[in-house]
Amino acid sequence: MHASSRHPTPPPTAELLVAPGCPHCAHMERLLTALQREGLIARLEVVDLARHPERAEALGLRGVPWLRLGPFELEGLHGPDALRRWIERTGTVEGHAEYVRSELAGGRLSLMERRVLQAPGRWTPALLHLLAREDLDLKVRLGLDALLEMLAREGLLEGWIEALAELARGEGPARRADAAHYLGLTGSPAAVGPVEALLEDPDPQVRDIAREARANLPTAH
């Protein structure tokens, strides 16, 4: 079954950046044009960087082809099956989460930080989805932690309290410990109750992290 029969949202737009001498740009343009004809891409814009070098400077590009597909930025050559998968993912939280996972696994944390800061509301559900997963490798888990701590510094974690409180009631002690840590970073009085509940957690590491988190939260009057 093709993505066109189960895509849950309107098709994304696409912007492809190309340059003279690029060995893969023409092939990418042909693939994207075919997907547009299928109705999987709403609009395709092809930008020649020889004519518009300011686009490369604004994006800090390291090479072409470079593709913006809906909310996703993809570097290099991608085959038709990969492009179809990314098109499907533009319409789901799980798809956004897979994009974040892929970027962090590829060492592109700084780029992901920029995207999250530009549109935190778009990426928050994906970050929460990843936070609840037990199967992330260490590099991705560390990248996710860096993203959440960045949001805390920007004062953007307070809206997460309800979701983190739910995570704190989950079965996995590692995820309960994560929830305690990030609840503490919110600095919000609303996080006191969920953190104090974790002070009685059966897992000693969770209790330790909950005590540290509680110290970062306001003292009850």
3-state SS of 64-117? CCEEEECCEEEECCCCHHHHHHHHHHCCCHHHHHHHHHHHHHCCCHHHHHHHHH
**Phi and psi torsions of 108, nearest 5°:** -105, 45
Q: Which of 43, 59, 89 is a domain's end point?
A: 89
Instruction: Give a yes or no: residue 1 inside a domain.
Output: no
- Residues 96, 42: one domain? no
- Residues 11, 85: one domain? yes
Per-residue pLDDT tens digits for 53-87: 988 888 888 789 999 999 999 999 999 999 999 99
pLDDT of residue 220: 62
pTM of full prediction above 0.85:
yes
Per-residue pLDDT tens digits for 132-160: 999 999 999 999 999 999 999 999 999 99
Residue 198 CA neighbour count, 13 Å, CB half: 37
pLDDT of residue 8: 53
Residue 61 DSSP class: -
Tell me the sheet residues that pair with 66.
Answer: 17, 75
The rounded percent of the chain whose pLDDT value lies above 90 is 89
> Distances from the Cα of 169 to the Cαs of 61, 79, 87, 160, in angstroms?
43, 42, 34, 15
pLDDT of residue 55: 87
**Domain of residue 214, CATH code:** 1.25.10.10
Q: Which of 140, 156, 172 is a domain's end point?
A: 156
Q: Do the beta carbons of residue 83 and residue 30 sit within 8 Å?
A: no
Q: Do the beta carbons of residue 78 and residue 70 sit within 8 Å?
A: no
- Residues 145, 164: one domain? no
- Domain around 100: 92-156
Q: Do the beta carbons of residue 77 and residue 28 sit within 8 Å?
A: yes
Instruction: Give a yes or no: residue 2 inside a domain.
Output: no
Instruction: Give a yes or no: residue 173 inside a domain.
Output: yes
- Residues 100, 76: one domain? no
Q: Which of 89, 105, 138 is a domain's end point?
A: 89
- Residues 173, 142: one domain? no
Tell me the sheet residues that pair with 45.
Answer: 15
| Cα 144 from Cα 26, distance rounded (Å) | 35
- Our count of domains for the chain comes to 3
Does 25 score more than 60 pLDDT? yes
